């Protein structure tokens, strides 16, 4: 069996450029861009890497497609393989299932601004500061698990965080009757009927 083809210089340049554009809108400015980049790539391909140069050509193509879809850019056709363009029905299904235990999302969708906005609103409604929210993501009860540098990068990440915050809002009596309709209209990522990630907030 032939060895997997290595990532090309053109692919490396595209990955760095696309990830830089996406992260400028979704990752905190005080974070480590390289660590965030590698953590995202490792989670997306299902194995750890310490450099984009360790990617195969096929893995690089997949990551480039994910970034382009997230940025609203057309996905290029590749030889011997038909390019997968985003399907609204697929996105709607992923919005409701990505992040559930035992659920593997394919393709991987990056988090959108609407998903981050509703997470911010839920955090503010709980009376949390930005530092307190970050402390929760780094705590033992974090819906993102025991990551070294937990950040919300994918739709699955956003769903896990949202479901946990929604559960806490209900427990605190701060979830209003019209919230289900309100938040569904703001984003394509509706929560499931049963909250599957009901974490606890950090101590006050």
pLDDT in tens, 59-95: 998 898 888 887 778 876 554 444 444 455 554 444 4
pLDDT digits (tens, 9 = 90+) for 106-152: 556 777 778 888 898 999 999 999 889 989 999 999 998 887 778 78
pLDDT digits (tens, 9 = 90+) for 181-204: 877 765 544 333 344 444 455 444
Q: What is the pTM of this model?
A: 0.51
Residue 76 domain-assigned (yes or no): yes
Residue 3 domain-assigned (yes or no): no
Pair of tokens at residue 27: 């990752």
Same-domain status, 77 and 145: no
The residue range of the domain holding 39 is 9-85
CA distance 171 to 81: 49
Provide the residue count of the chain: 204
Same-domain status, 30 and 104: no
Residue 116 domain-assigned (yes or no): yes
Would you state the pLDDT for residue 30?
55
Domain boundary among 63, 85, 107: 85
Domain boundary among 85, 105, 139: 85
């Amino acid at each position: 069996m032939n060895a997997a083809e290595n990532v090309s210089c053109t692919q490396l340049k595209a990955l760095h450029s696309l990830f830089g554009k996406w992260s400028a809108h979704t990752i905190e400015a005080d974070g480590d861009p390289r660590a965030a980049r590698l953590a995202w790539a490792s989670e997306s391909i299902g194995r750890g890497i310490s450099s984009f140069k360790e990617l195969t050509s096929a893995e690089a193509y997949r990551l480039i497609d994910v970034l382009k879809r997230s940025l609203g850019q057309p996905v290029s056709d590749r030889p011997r393989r038909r390019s997968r363009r985003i399907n609204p029905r697929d996105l709607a299904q992923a919005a409701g299932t990505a992040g559930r235990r035992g659920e593997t999302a394919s393709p991987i969708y990056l988090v959108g601004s609407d998903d981050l906005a509703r997470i911010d609103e839920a955090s503010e409604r709980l009376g949390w500061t930005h530092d307190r929210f970050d402390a929760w993501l780094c705590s033992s009860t974090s819906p993102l698990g025991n990551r070294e540098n937990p950040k919300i990068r994918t739709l699955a990440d956003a769903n896990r965080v949202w479901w946990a915050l929604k559960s806490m809002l209900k427990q605190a009596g701060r979830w209003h009757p019209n919230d289900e309709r309100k938040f569904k209209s703001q984003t394509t990522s509706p929560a499931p009927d049963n909250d599957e990630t009901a974490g606890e907030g950090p101590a006050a």
